[in-house]
Amino acid sequence: MGTMKQYKNWLEHPYFDEPTKSELAAIANNHKEIEDRFYRDLEFGTGGLRGLIGAGTNRMNRYVVRKTSQGLANFLKNQKSTALSIAIAYDSRHKSREFAEESARVFTRNGIKTYLFDELKPTPELSFAVRHLHCNAGIVITASHNPKEYNGYKVYGEDGGQLPLELSNAVLAEVDAISDITTIQVMELDKAKATGLLVMIGQQVDDAYMTALKSLSVTRLDQDINYPIIYTPIHGSGNKPVRRILKEVGFNHVYVVPQQELPDPDFSTVKYPNPEERAVFELAIEMARQKDAEMIIGTDPDCDRIGVVVRNRDGQYATLSGNQTGCLMMEFILNNLQQQGRLPSNGFVVKTIVTTELARAIAKAYQVKLIEVLTGFKFIGEQILLREDRGNEKYLFGFEESYGYLAGTFARDKDAVVAAMLIAQMFAWYKSRGMTLDDGMTELYEKYGFAREGLDSFTLKGKDGLEKIQQAMSLLRQKKAELFGNIGIKAVRDYECGIRTVVETGKEEPTGLPESNVLCYETVNDFWFCVRPSGTEPKIKIYYGVTGQTLMESEKALELLKNQVLSVLKPLLTE
């Protein structure tokens, strides 16, 4: 069905409600907007379904949620004919609860027992609940750290991890097979509860989740830890679980930023609810000065990412990057496990292809295997399934540069609740050594090398932007140049075709990883950069990594690398 036919169908068919029709009627003369809303179906990326809230096939709305849920229901029924169950969670965003309930109405109509959380919950608790309740799948309604205009739909398998590519594609095939969205039927929630198909969950799963997380404590500290910590949930779902876990492991001086404590779908105190941005911590920093606190932590709306701000020796509050926090946590975990005689000989850690190489040096020092995977935490969770559940290895820690961390295997996605506990314990551990976390980072650099990383991104909205990103990636693949600006290139890893090519000789070898639209360049001076269109946002991202003899040398090398790479990429994206 063409764009205008889709538009008219949504505008006229009795299946669609009046608010949807009114919203579409208001853009009747805006053909570009109509095209953007209907030129495609909203697609899955590395983090699932995510898009602007609004009417249309390329937007997040109750009908797109119904279609996706029906496709998932069909997939589950094809896998197993009886006793199917699914868990559903949601965050504080606009329409999150509505979309969660719409999903429940579809699943129960299909005879699938549905466990729905009674209030907003973190994404990692949903991952935990799938395993704890022995469900066949799970979903969480969230757009993570995207702007307030977005929402999303993440799908989890029976292992509690995001679906691997093969199964994700199978679900998408079922969704795409639904040619008429108006044929999807739903069950009323009251009827679903009365028949036992819908079960509301809360405190019991909360308690089990907390018990599991506390078992992952690395250090045993005094019951009352006097160091003040400032916490902001940035108007999201982390407020209750993060405060609870910190209190239960002995941190009784945690102060929550009052202006950002309660759920707020407009995220009214920040431009973007993203703990990667220093701006979200301005209120927390002000509070830290008042409380004489050395550390601030903040979680995103669905509480799977966490950012850290530390006070340095000069009294200034500085943000830690995702790579820095991840390396500090890895060192803290491996060091303490080794000192306690609990570091297993078959242990492994995981990082993504765009995550710092400093992690590799830390793993090597502790003689722990490091596994590298594609971008997206689903691939880290998949390694737990393959190597621990089905193999004989022991998962210790995994992280990605975009502020996602996971210890333990109770959940299979990044978990800011367990990360908050471990970061607080790590903070106290360094304090017991007379050090700040800033000092700890300096210690890591001096021990393993002065690694520095960077990130640039370009947002190109709409159909034209998507086409420009695709064209830029195509041109880069055709070129395979020996120089990028004036930076010499040693090898190019193209994960779309799964080949690493040595530029000078043309020698090819497999990357060993699944297909993905990513290009990674290895420079002649052993630096690297990767170009990757986002799987969840209308962005193209460029990641950089360098290592030098001093921090200043690394920072200069990083700036030079970025300038040369952008001299090539900017024209491709802006002309």
Phi-psi label, residue 460: left if phi above 0, alpha if psi -120 to 50, beta otherwise: beta
Does 33 share its domain with 156? Answer: no
How far apart CA 135 and CA 481 sit, in angstroms, is 49
Closest by CA position to 149, among listed 548, 442, 509, 537: 537
For residue 312, the tally of other CB atoms under 10 A from its CB is 15
Does 436 share its domain with 457? Answer: no
Does 381 share its domain with 310? Answer: yes
Read off the CATH number of the domain in which 551 is found: 3.30.310.50
Take residue 90 and report the two structure tokens written for it. 């949601």
Secondary structure of residue 317 in the 3-state scheme: strand
How far apart CA 321 and CA 405 sit, in angstroms, is 13
Q: DSSP letter for 278, please.
A: G
pLDDT of residue 536: 59
- The residue with tokens 């496709």 is 71
- pLDDT beyond 90 at 220: no
| Mean pLDDT of all residues belonging to the chain | 94
Does 413 share its domain with 276? Answer: yes
pLDDT of residue 450: 95
Does 399 share its domain with 341? Answer: yes
Does 298 share its domain with 377? Answer: yes
Take residue 105 and report the two structure tokens written for it. 């109405």
Closest by CA position to 299, among listed 395, 370, 229, 372: 229
565: confidence class by pLDDT, cuts 50, 70, 90: very high
- The average pLDDT across 413-433 equals 96
Take residue 73 and report the two structure tokens written for it. 């229901």
pLDDT of residue 5: 93
Boundary of a domain, candidates 151, 181, 201: 201
Residues labelled as active-site residues: 144
pLDDT of residue 554: 96
| Strand order through the sheet with 295-299 | 254-256, 229-232, 295-299, 306-311, 317-320
Is 157 part of any domain?
yes
Is 206 part of any domain?
no
- pLDDT beyond 80 at 463: no
Does 97 share its domain with 27? Answer: no
How far apart CA 228 and CA 252 sit, in angstroms, is 8
Distances (CA, A) of 222 to 121, 251, 329, 332, 423: 29, 9, 20, 18, 16
pLDDT of residue 232: 98
How far apart CA 563 and CA 571 sit, in angstroms, is 13
Does 266 share its domain with 412? Answer: yes
How far apart CA 490 and CA 482 sit, in angstroms, is 7
**Number of domains, the chain:** 4
3-class SS letters over 512-567: CCCCCCCEEEEECCCCEEEEEECCCCCEEEEEEEEEECCHHHHHHHHHHHHHHHHH
Boundary of a domain, candidates 201, 234, 249: 201
- pLDDT beyond 90 at 339: yes
Q: Identify the weakest region by mean pLDDT among 212-221, 271-280, 408-417.
A: 212-221
- The average pLDDT across 73-91 equals 92
Q: Identify the weakest region by mean pLDDT among 216-225, 329-338, 455-464.
A: 216-225
What is the per-residue pLDDT across 354-387, written as a single tens digit (0 to 9) for each? 999 999 999 999 999 999 999 989 899 999 999 9
Does 56 share its domain with 180? Answer: yes
pLDDT of residue 223: 57
What is the per-residue pLDDT across 110-156, written as a single tens digit (0 to 9) for each? 999 999 999 999 999 999 999 999 999 999 999 988 899 999 999 99
Closest by CA position to 458, among listed 570, 575, 321: 570
- The average pLDDT across 402-411 equals 96
Contacts of 96 (CB under 8 A, 6+ apart): 90, 120, 141, 142, 151, 265
Does 434 share its domain with 459? Answer: no
Does 223 share its domain with 187? Answer: no
Take residue 126 and report the two structure tokens written for it. 């949903």
What is the per-residue pLDDT across 6-30, written as a single tens digit (0 to 9) for each? 999 999 999 999 999 999 999 999 9
539: confidence class by pLDDT, cuts 50, 70, 90: confident
| Strand order through the sheet with 198-201 | 44-45, 48-52, 150-157, 137-141, 85-90, 113-117, 198-201
- pLDDT beyond 70 at 510: yes
Cα 17 from chain centre: 33
Quote the strand ranges of 172-289, DSSP E.
198-201, 229-232, 254-256
Quick check: 378 and 349 in contact, CB under 8 A?
no
Is 322 part of any domain?
yes
Quick check: 126 and 100 in contact, CB under 8 A?
no
Quick check: 35 and 7 in contact, CB under 8 A?
no
Question: How many residues does the structure list for the chain?
Answer: 575
Boundary of a domain, candidates 448, 478, 503: 448
Q: Identify the weakest region by mean pLDDT among 99-108, 461-470, 507-516, 542-551.
A: 461-470
What is the per-residue pLDDT across 172-218, written as a single tens digit (0 to 9) for each? 999 999 999 999 999 999 999 999 999 999 999 999 999 999 999 99
Closest by CA position to 92, among listed 260, 263, 257: 263
Does 122 share its domain with 163? Answer: yes
Read off the CATH number of the domain in which 104 is found: 3.40.120.10
Is 278 part of any domain?
yes
pLDDT of residue 47: 59
Contacts of 162 (CB under 8 A, 6+ apart): 47, 48, 154, 155, 156, 168, 376, 377, 378, 381, 412, 413
Contacts of 326 (CB under 8 A, 6+ apart): 351, 355, 356, 359, 399, 400, 401, 405
Specify the pTM: 0.93
How far apart CA 553 and CA 547 sit, in angstroms, is 8
Q: Long-range contacts: 546-555, Cβ < 8 Å, 24+?
A: 546/451, 546/452, 546/453, 547/357, 547/358, 547/449, 547/450, 547/451, 547/452, 548/450, 548/452, 549/450, 550/450, 551/445, 551/450, 551/452, 553/450, 554/450, 554/451, 554/452, 555/452
Is 78 part of any domain?
yes
Quick check: 86 and 112 in contact, CB under 8 A?
yes
Q: Identify the weakest region by mean pLDDT among 60-74, 217-231, 512-526.
A: 217-231
Q: Residue 152: which domain range? A: 42-201
pLDDT of residue 166: 85
What is the widest separation between alpha-carbon atoms in the chain? 70
